[in-house]
Amino acid sequence: MSEQETNILVVGGGISGLTTAVEAAEAGYNVVLIEKEPFLGGRVARMNKYFPKLCPPACGLEINYRRIKFSDRITFHTLAEVEKITGQPGDYEVTVKAGARYINDKCTGCNACTEVCPVETPNDFNGGLDKRKAAYIYHQQVFPFQYVIDGSVCKKEACAKCKEACKYDAIDFTMKPESFVVKTGAIVLATGWKPYDASKMDNLGFGTSKNIISNVMMERLASQNGPTGGRIVRPSDGKEAKRVAFVQCAGSRDENHLAFCSAVCCLASLKQATYVREQYPDSKAYMFYIDIRTPGTSYERFLNKVREDENISLIKGKVAKVYEDPATGDVIVEAEDILAGKKIKVSVDLCVLATGMQPTVSEMKLPPEVKINENGFVVADSTRKGIYAVGCAKDPVDVSKSVQGATGAALKAIQTVGRKA
Partner 1 sequence: MVDATLVKPDLDFVKGVIAAGGESLKKCYQCATCTVVCNVTPEENPFPRKEMVWAQWGLKEKFQGNPDVWLCHQCNDCTAYCPRGAKPGEVLGAIRKQSIREYSAPDFLVDLVNDKKFMALLFIAPAILLAVVIAAFGNFGIPGGEVVFTKFLPVLPIQLIFTPALIFGIAVGVLGVKKFWVDMKRANGVRTGDLKGSVIETAKEVLAHKKFKSCGINADRYASHLLVFYSFVALGIATLIGALYIDILHIESPFSFGRGTLVKLFGNAGAIALLVGVTMMITNRFKHQEKLGLGSYFDWLLLCIIATVALSGFLAQLTRIAGAAAIAYPIYFIHLVFVLSLFIYLPFSKLAHMFYRGAAMCFMKYSGREAQQAAAVSTTPGTGQSSGPGKETGSE
Of residues 156, 77, 161, the one with CA closest to residue 114: 161
User: Is residue 352 a contact residue for partner 1 (CB under 8 A)?
Assistant: no
Q: Which of 282, 341, 374, 381 binds partner 1 (CB under 8 A)?
A: 341
User: Is residue 18 a contact residue for partner 1 (CB under 8 A)?
Assistant: no
The strand pair at 350-355 and 243-250 is best described as parallel
User: Is residue 253 a contact residue for partner 1 (CB under 8 A)?
Assistant: yes
Q: Which of 2, 152, 174, 256 binds partner 1 (CB under 8 A)?
A: 256
Give the whole-angstrom CA distance, residue 229 versus residue 236: 16
Give the shortest CB-273-to-partner 1 separation in angstroms. 12
Angle, nearest 10°, between helix axes 215-222 and 265-279?
30
Cis preceding-peptide flag for 57 (omega within 30 of 0): no
Q: Which of 63, 338, 379, 380 binds partner 1 (CB under 8 A)?
A: 338
User: Which DSSP state fits 310?
Assistant: T
Q: What is the largest CA-CA distance in the chain?
A: 70
Give the shortest CB-316-to-partner 1 separation in angstroms. 5
Looking at the DSSP assignment, which residues form a beta bridge with residue 344? 335
Q: Which of 337, 385, 408, 411 binds partner 1 (CB under 8 A)?
A: 337
Residues 312-331 that bind partner 1 (CB under 8 A): 313-321
Whichever of 318 and 420 has its CB closer to partner 1, that residue is 318
Q: Which of 179, 203, 328, 375 binds partner 1 (CB under 8 A)?
A: 203
Write the binding mask 155 to 194 for partner 1: x where contact by CB under 8 A, - elsewhere: ----------------------------------------
The window from 65-73, 214-222, 230-238, 255-263 that contacts partner 1 (CB under 8 A) reads 255-263
Question: What count of other Cβ atoms lies within 10 Å of the Cβ of residue 368?
Answer: 6
Task: Name the phi and psi angles at 294, rounded to 5.
Answer: -130, 70
Whichever of 240 and 337 has its CB closer to partner 1, that residue is 337
DSSP labels, 217-274: HHHHHHSTTSTTTT--B-TTT--B--EEEEEEEESTT-TTS--S--SSHHHHHHHHHH
Whichever of 88 and 298 has its CB closer to partner 1, that residue is 298
Give the whole-angstrom CA distance, residue 61 versus residue 397: 18
Q: Which of 27, 254, 408, 420 binds partner 1 (CB under 8 A)?
A: 254
Give the whole-angstrom CA distance, residue 139 versus residue 123: 12
Write the binding mask 120 to 159 for partner 1: x where contact by CB under 8 A, - elsewhere: ----------------------------------------
The window from 34-42, 186-194, 334-342, 402-410 that contacts partner 1 (CB under 8 A) reads 334-342
Q: Which of 50, 193, 286, 377 binds partner 1 (CB under 8 A)?
A: 286
Give every CB contact of residue 19 below 8 A, 6+ residues apart in sequence.
64, 402, 403, 406, 407, 410
# chain residues binding partner 1, by CB under 8 A: 38
The window from 158-166, 249-257, 356-364, 365-373 that contacts partner 1 (CB under 8 A) reads 249-257
User: Is residue 282 a contact residue for partner 1 (CB under 8 A)?
Assistant: no
User: Is residue 353 a contact residue for partner 1 (CB under 8 A)?
Assistant: no
Question: What count of other Cβ atoms lies within 10 Å of the Cβ of residue 140?
Answer: 10
User: Which DSSP state fits 407?
Assistant: H
User: Is residue 292 a contact residue for partner 1 (CB under 8 A)?
Assistant: yes
Give every CB contact of residue 210 below 8 A, 6+ residues apart in sequence.
234, 235, 236
Of residues 233, 242, 228, the one with CA closest to residue 213: 233
User: Is residue 261 a contact residue for partner 1 (CB under 8 A)?
Assistant: no
Question: What count of other Cβ atoms lies within 10 Å of the Cβ of residue 162?
Answer: 27
Residue type, 67: R
User: Is residue 336 a contact residue for partner 1 (CB under 8 A)?
Assistant: yes
Which residues contribute to the site for partner 1 (CB under 8 A)?
A: 203, 249, 253-257, 286, 289-293, 307, 310, 313-321, 334-347
